[in-house]
Every structure is written in structure tokens, then in C-alpha cells.
Amino acid sequence: MSRVLDVNGVTGGYGSVQILNGVDLYVDEGELVTVIGPNGCGKSTFMKVLFGIADRYEGTFIHRGVDVSSWRTDKLVKRGIAYVPQVDNVFPSLTVYENLQMGGLNMSSGVLKKRIDQACEMFPEMQLRMSDLAASLSGGERQMLAISRALISDPTFLLLDEPTAALSPKYQQDIIGRINELRKQGITVLIIEQNAKLSLARSDRGYIFVGGKVAHAAPATDLLNDPDIGAYFLGTR
Ligand SMILES: Nc1ncnc2c1ncn2[C@@H]1O[C@H](COP(=O)(O)OP(=O)(O)OP(=O)(O)O)[C@@H](O)[C@H]1O
Ligand SMILES: [Mg+2]
């Protein structure tokens, strides 16, 4: 199996405020991998460091054998890596269509149309809302729009930061199910989730972050069945 992402000893944070204390993890081709952990332990910071939004001090990000540690966001996107942040992941004052267009800047109109059509196959809800402002969407629809926009660049590796946060249980199931569909279509997925049980149930493997580093890594089924982990992280027992 080929390695999509290898993270080696990454430390980082915001200026002089260190948050990540040496993150090691990997994602293989075709996997769905979930990162869980308590609030404030650095999960979002980890993805932000990869995307150059927070600072990396040491360590490397290797994507498909290439060191992309210092790459700019646009170059990472061109390479097939897409990222949906935890907050502010749509432009509320733009329409759904305009938001999707933002995912394909510099794309020819023909390619853009094809990509939007493809995204709408996964999220048909967007088709019906094209000329509505993103501000008018429900929480679940906004997440669908954010993921749809990330799909416009035709990624092979998708990073999602809490796509089901603050959604109703029905929407949570729905979104995770569709993320799993994307994986079945060949997109490798790394997902940060508070709804750990839901996400781990679809995942190959999981990582538990504590204090800015990986405290535990295991196959998803092991994490789901471990009573200690259940007690701390999965809201069971
Ligand atoms: N822009 C910033 N500048 C300084 N510190 C920040 C910044 N953003 C986040 N932090 C701090 O970094 C730490 C880790 O935050 P982060 O958002 O990575 O946690 P998280 O694991 O994603 O938490 P949550 O589960 O709440 O999303 C927190 O102490 C947070 O206050
Ligand atoms: Mg977060």
C-alpha cells in the first residue's frame, strides 16, 4: 500500500506559542483516518501547520514521497491536497455558486462546470441552492458546501476539520456517510472529529492527540472497543 502522508516529529504553533510537541502519524492510500482528542489539544493546529496557516518549527510533512513541509497552500491544492477548516469554511455573503467558483480560481469555465457537476452528484442539495446566499444555508448544508468547494480542485487527499460539529445527529450520520462515499471513490481522507464513535465506525485507523502530540494510535475497531478509551473519548461507560 502506498503512503499518502507521513508526518515526522512536527512541532509548531503560533509565533512563539508552541502547541504541537512532535506529531508523528501517517495515512495510506485509500484510508479513512480519524484524529480525536480533547478540546485545545492541537488537532486543528496540526492541519493549520500543514497548510501553512500556523507555524512549523521542526519536523516534516511528506506527501507521496515528496517533502511538502514548506509548500504554500495553492501549491498543495494543485498537488491534490484539499482542506476544509473547522470554522469560516464558506463565504456567507456569496451565493452557493460563487462559493463553488472560489474553489476553482484559474480554472477554465468548462472544467469548472464539470467539477461543480461532479460535486453536486455527491451533494445534490447544492444544485437546488445555487443562487442562494451561503448565509441562508443550514449548518449541515454549509458543511456540504464547504466539502463541495474542496472537491472542485479534484483532490486525491482530503483533510476535514470537524465536518459534523454542531449538526443534528441525522446530519452527522449523513455527512460521515458521504465522506465514506468519497473514500470509496478513491479519495484518501484524514478527518478530525468530536463525534468520535461515528467517525471511527467508518475509519480504518485512529489517532488520539493529547497535549499537542499523538498519545495513542490504533486500528479504529480497537479504539472503539477499548473500554478505557471509551470512557475518556467516546462518551461511553
Ligand atoms: N491563532 C492562535 N493564536 C494563538 N493560540 C491559538 C490560536 N489558535 C488556537 N490557539 C491555541 O492553540 C491551542 C490548540 O488549539 P486547536 O484549535 O488546535 O485545538 P483543537 O484540538 O482543534 O480543539 P477543538 O477540539 O476545540 O477544536 C489552544 O490552546 C488554542 O487556544
Ligand atoms: Mg479544532
DSSP of 127-195, one letter per residue? HHTTTSBGGGS-HHHHHHHHHHHHHTT--SEEEEE-TTTT--HHHHHHHHHHHHHHHHTT-EEEEE-SS
Distance 4 CA to ligand 1 centre (A): 26
What is the pLDDT at residue 235? 59
Q: How far apart are CA 175 and CA 123, in angstroms?
A: 10
The mean pLDDT values, 10 residues at a time, for the chain of 237 residues are 95 98 98 96 97 96 97 94 94 96 90 94 92 95 95 97 90 92 96 92 96 96 87 60
Handedness of CA 39, 196, 49, 118 (dihedral sign): negative
Distance 23 CA to ligand 1 centre (A): 15
What is the pLDDT at residue 237? 41
206 lines ligand 1 (CB under 6 A): no
| Closest atom of ligand 1 relative to the 86 alpha carbon | 27
| Closest atom of ligand 1 relative to the 162 alpha carbon | 27
User: Could you tell me the pTM of the whole model?
Assistant: 0.94
| Closest atom of ligand 1 relative to the 192 alpha carbon | 22
Q: What is the pLDDT of residues 190-226, one digit of tens each?
A: 999 988 899 999 999 999 999 999 999 999 999 999 8
153 lines ligand 1 (CB under 6 A): no
Q: How far apart are CA 158 and CA 183, in angstroms?
A: 9
- Give the residue whose CA is nearest to atom 24 of ligand 1: 39
Listed by start position, the domains of the chain span: 3-87+156-234
The C-alpha cell at 57 is: 518549527
Distance 208 CA to ligand 2 centre (A): 13
Distance 113 CA to ligand 2 centre (A): 32
43 lines ligand 1 (CB under 6 A): yes
What is the pLDDT at residue 106? 83
What is the pLDDT at residue 188? 98
* CATH of region 3-87+156-234: 3.40.50.300
For a substitution probing ligand 1, which of 41, 50, 213, 214 has the most ligand atoms within 8 Å of its CB? 41
